[in-house]
A = this chain, B = another copy of it.
Amino acid sequence: MTKAQSRREELRDKLIGAAEKTIAEQGHAALKARALAEEVGCALGAIYTVFPDLAALILAVNARSFGLLDAILGRQAEAAAADGGSPRAVANRTLIALANGYLDFAAEHGGRWHALFDLRLPEGQELPQEHLSRQDALFRHLEAPLAVLQPGLAAAERALLARSLFSAAHGMVLLGLEGKLVQLPLPYLREQIALVVSAMGRGLESA
Contact = CB atoms under 8 A, between A and B. Distances in A.
Interface in A37-51: none
Give the copy number. Answer: 2
A193 B165 CA distance: 9
Interface residues of A, number: 36
A30 interface: no
Given A161-B195, A199-B200, A169 B166 contact: no
A207 interface: yes
Contact of A161 (B117, B164, B174, B192): B192
Interface string A154-193: 0000001101111111111111100011101000100011
Contacts of A188: 160
Contacts of A168: 168-169, 171-172, 196
Nearest to A199: B203
A171 B167 CA distance: 5
A168 to B, nearest CB: 4
Contact of A203 (B163, B175, B201): B201
